[in-house]
Chains A and B, each alone.
Chain A
Amino acid sequence: MIAIIDYGVGNLFSLACSFRSIGAETEITRDPARIEAAERIILPGVGAFGDAMDKLTATGLIPVLKREAERKPFLGICLGMQLLFDESEEYGPHKGLGLIPGRVCDLRADLSDKSLKVPHMGWNSLELRDDPIFRHIRNGEYVYYVHSFYAKDCAEHTIGVSQYGNVSVTGAVRRGLVYGTQFHPEKSGDTGLRILRAFVEL
């Protein structure tokens, strides 16, 4: 069973459906016992970093998540990936979970071509580093992004990037069993489902 962490952020319907379509069982939960019993963990998220971090803190799950992230495959998606880092400057600074070294910064500030639109919204091609989570996709396949902040100073743990103007957007990260994708695999069509399938096979 895959535990999808329910902390009152975002819409989990598509996420649960996408796993069901590849034959994986999920449970949307905030029960520490269920999270401990799960084989894998998904940390979803949309919205603002500080607000999400406050809600996650309020569930009391942070120590559980930090402990379980050492033991089983863990995937943060979109804002859920950003929460893995040390800190974010979105309406911030705000402290993150600190599971992966790096920080989350304003994309607009780093774009030299100011005519480029923020949020970075739509399908962008993903340049891969070799990793088991990408075993079912090819270099350059397109994935779906919607975000205005992005992770940086995390090159050592970056396993996928997408180019947006002059910025190499951190698309996917990994440290040990902890993975994160800035893009939405559950909205990235067949490519996304193949990434989720590889996650389920980890």
Chain B
Amino acid sequence: MLAKRIIPCLDVRDGRVVKGTNFTGLRDISDPVELARYYNDSGADELVFYDITASAEGRKLFTDILRRTASEVFIPLTVGGGINTVDDFDRVLKCGADKVSVNSGAIANPALIGAAAKKYGDQCVVLSMDVKRVNGQFRVFAKGGREDTGLDALEWAERGVGDGAGEIVLNSIDTDGVKQGFDLEMLDALAARVSVPIIASGGAGNMEHFAELFTHPGIDAGLAASIFHSRQVDIKALKRYLREKGVEMRL
């Protein structure tokens, strides 16, 4: 049977991995290629590289890192951050990315999802959303969680899937960095609306949070950063634990 996936996320700026809490107070952790190799050896099912660089030199550094990672780590790689045009898809796919995640770029230009899906296939396009509750509504935020777009997250997701997004990463700003568990209410609401795989992000603090996540059948994968980078949770141990709990895991 199809296994649930455990996905570490590497936020990369100027060639280094960083991870913040609630998107602020970034701190440097490690070399991305080394970390990617470590996660591959630990049994990570996929890697997400998120480019949070603003400068052109940083972007060049990022694609170099991506190319180096893809030439020695043979699991699926998803790349996000700074993806605003179909040319941006092309740039990272050529460096070994398998999937490309769009966030603010799709908000600014909703036609991007359809254009990329047509060119590279639905399986290649991941819609990533930063979502926060505002007046009882799940609201999409742009610019790394700083700007309320006014978009309803569930409608936005449905539209993205209709246009060709093959997977959704739902990052709850409400639970991100708090380490009290994934935002199950938000995730369930999304799973009821779309039929593509859903990757849960934001809130994982321990192994139990993943076990709890996977009791929700509509969720396909759990993504986290700091708890893996800090080795607070070891992926190999996590996957063994989840399998003992009856969750289908690749070991």
Contact = CB atoms under 8 A, between A and B. Distances in A.
Contact of A146 (B74, B123, B221): B123
Contact of B74 (A117, A142, A188): A188
A47 interface: yes
A119 B124 CA distance: 11
A187 B3 contact: no
B94 interface: yes
Interface string B224-245: 0000000000000000000000
Q: How large, as a class, is the contact surface on chain A?
A: 20 to 34
A164 B250 contact: no
Interface string B123-145: 11000000000000000000000
B159 to A, nearest CB: 18
A124 B220 CA distance: 13
A11 B250 contact: no
B247 interface: no
A121 interface: yes
Interface string B1-45: 111010000000000000000000000000000000000100001
B148 interface: no
B181 interface: no
A186 B72 CA distance: 11
B195 A123 contact: no
Contact of A121 (B71, B74, B167): B167
Contacts of B167: 121
A46 interface: yes
A121 B1 contact: no
Q: How large, as a class, is the contact surface on chain B?
A: 20 to 34
A192 interface: yes
A163 B1 contact: yes
A115 B3 contact: no
B123 A121 contact: yes
Given A122-B5, A123-B5, A124-B1, A189 B94 contact: no
Given A13-B70, A122-B45, A123-B45, A117 B98 contact: no
B197 A121 contact: yes
Contact of B70 (A14, A124, A147): A14
A7 interface: no
A88 to B, nearest CB: 15
Contact of A122 (B94, B122, B124, B197): B197
Nearest to A121: B197
Interface string A134-158: 0000000010101100000000000
A79 to B, nearest CB: 9
A80 to B, nearest CB: 14
Interface in A158-178: 163-164
B214 to A, nearest CB: 13
Interface in B165-204: 166-167, 195-197
Nearest to A79: B121
Given A119-B122, A121-B123, A122-B3, A14 B96 contact: yes
Nearest to A21: B72
B1 A117 contact: no
A144 B179 CA distance: 30
B121 A14 contact: no
A29 B196 CA distance: 35
A189 B95 contact: no
Interface of B: 1-3, 5, 40, 45, 67, 70-72, 74-76, 93-96, 98, 120-124, 166-167, 195-197, 217-218, 220-221, 250
Given A123-B3, A124-B1, 7 more contacts: A11-B94, A13-B95, A17-B72, A46-B121, A46-B124, A144-B76, A147-B123
Which A-B residue pairs are the 8 nearest by beta carbons? Answer: A142-B250, A17-B71, A123-B250, A123-B3, A146-B123, A13-B96, A124-B2, A189-B75
Interface of A: 11, 13-14, 17-18, 20-21, 46-48, 115, 117-125, 142, 144, 146-147, 163-164, 186-190, 192-193
22 contacts: A17-B74, A20-B71, A21-B71, A21-B72, A46-B121, A46-B124, A47-B120, A115-B217, A115-B218, A118-B195, A120-B2, A121-B197, A122-B220, A123-B2, A123-B45, A124-B3, A125-B1, A147-B123, A186-B74, A188-B74, A189-B40, A190-B74
